[in-house]
Amino acid sequence: MIQLIKMAYRDLGRNRRRSFFSALALGIGLALLLLMASVIQGEMRSSMDMSIQLQSGHLQVRSVNYDPDKNSLAWEDLVENPEQVASQISSLAPVKAASPRLFASGIVSVADETAGVSILGIDPASEASAPYRDGLVSGDYLTADDREGVLIGRKLADILGLSTGDTISVMANTSNGDVDEQIFTIRGLFATGSPYYDQTTLIMPISKAQAITQTENHASTIFVLLTERDMTEPVVAALKSDKLEVVTWRTMNELITQVEQMSSGFMIVIYLIVLGITATVIVNTLVMAVFERTREIGILAAIGMRGSRIMAMFFAESTLLALGGILIGLVLGGIMVAYATYVGFYIGDFGIEGLLIGDRIYAYLTLTDAVSLIITAFVVSLLAALYPALLASRMEPVTALHSGE
């Protein structure tokens, strides 16, 4: 075996430039695959985390009649005594935060400009509201008893030409089907990292949201964050009720899961294309080596080297090319993935309704993805050597010797 490796190394060294570029092609292909896999994984992971923190939580406890697509404000569709329900949920050990939230549709008006928004009533002091408190980019945060202040996203403020301290008119639907309109002062601007969310969300204390929508002592849902995502099912079992429905983050984020599955299928096609191109380069390199060494192969066969050993010699060459290419790919891919992980790629406003996407994509490379791609690249390289190896092993010694003259 060692002799075969030495022979393979010597044969590859005969045309170092061609061997190097073959290994480089494999390395570039592997590096690109590592980058693409990490970007897809990072974006799906980021989108899910953002959705859990801002929209779904790990759990939501709501009325069995509530339809989230309609943002119903009818009392029979809401959670009664939400503070009491949230307090009971908070007593469970795996629960990090449980906070009532009220959702309503509204319109923001300033001068001649208007914009449709989702009104979100929150408990400003709750840990579940940390993304808005930590994401404040200007102005002041809300207090629970603030009756005239709101927070809006920086993206919405830019569109409407607003800043901290400006006043806006807010129209909101009410529980009886009417529309109420009031004047509010912008206390601060927040940025969550999702331009779409920042453009469409207006935040006020839940007590004020209940007042303007005429839903006193009611909430759309109890927003629940857990200490660990894996504790979802035990908490669901503990919260079972005839009057209230418990919805998990998996159910509320089905769109993200579907997009992730579609992306995985699409990436498999991309992987096959990239590795197919790489395999073609390796096949070309080894086939050229076969024709350049026809006489040598004939001599080896004439002195008794079996066809299986000749095949093994070409597989050894392919193995060395694969190892060199993988090493190059890990270096190049490591640099690109590191950049994408810590710096990211700015994509701007790419929001889709129901799917929160940040304005910057960050990579996240898992060990499973890295090992899978390395093994796949290695196997593809060996398979690429199959045809040249068979071609060399099936040469007749006499024909090979005369062809090489």
**What pLDDT, in 10s, does the model give residues 64-75?**
888 887 778 888
Say what the pLDDT of residue 120 is.
94
Say what the pLDDT of residue 267 is.
77
Phi-psi region of 22 (alpha: psi -120 to 50; beta: other; left: phi over 0): alpha
Of the listed ranges 55-59, 143-147, 344-348, 366-370, the least confidently predicted one is 344-348
Say what the pLDDT of residue 306 is.
66
Q: Residue 189 pLDDT > 50, yes or no? A: yes
Radius of gyration of the chain from its Cα atoms, rounded to whole angstroms: 31
Mean pLDDT value across residues 252-263: 79
Say what the pLDDT of residue 405 is.
46
d(C-alpha 12, C-alpha 206), whole Å? 72
Residue pair 133/109 in contact by the 8 Å Cβ criterion: no
Q: Residue 215 pLDDT > 70, yes or no? A: yes
**What pLDDT, in 10s, does the model give residues 382-398?**
888 777 767 666 665 55
261 or 44: which leads in pLDDT: 44
Q: Residue 164 pLDDT > 90, yes or no? A: yes
Which residues are within 8 A (CB) of 42 and not within 5 positions of it... i.e. 6 or more apart?
340, 341, 361, 362, 363, 364, 365
**What pLDDT, in 10s, does the model give residues 258-314?**
777 777 777 788 888 888 888 888 787 777 766 666 666 666 656 656 666 767 777
Q: Residue 355 pLDDT > 60, yes or no? A: yes
209 or 258: which leads in pLDDT: 209
Structure token digits, residue 351 = 């929001």
Q: Residue 229 pLDDT > 70, yes or no? A: yes
Q: Residue 400 pLDDT > 50, yes or no? A: no
Structure token digits, residue 177 = 């089907």
Mean pLDDT value across residues 89-109: 92
- Beta partners for residue 204, in sequence order: 121
Structure token digits, residue 230 = 């894996």
Say what the pLDDT of residue 404 is.
46
Of the listed ranges 132-146, 242-256, 258-272, the least confidently predicted one is 258-272
Helix residue ranges per DSSP H, 52-160: 82-90, 130-134, 154-160
d(C-alpha 226, C-alpha 239), whole Å? 13
Of the listed ranges 41-50, 182-191, 279-288, 336-345, the least confidently predicted one is 279-288
Q: Residue 206 pLDDT > 90, yes or no? A: yes
Mean pLDDT value across residues 123-145: 93
Q: Where are the beta strands (DSSP E) in 47-166?
A: 59-63, 79-80, 95-110, 113-122, 136-139, 149-153
d(C-alpha 280, C-alpha 383), whole Å? 11
Q: DSSP string of 387-398?
A: HHHHHHHT--HH
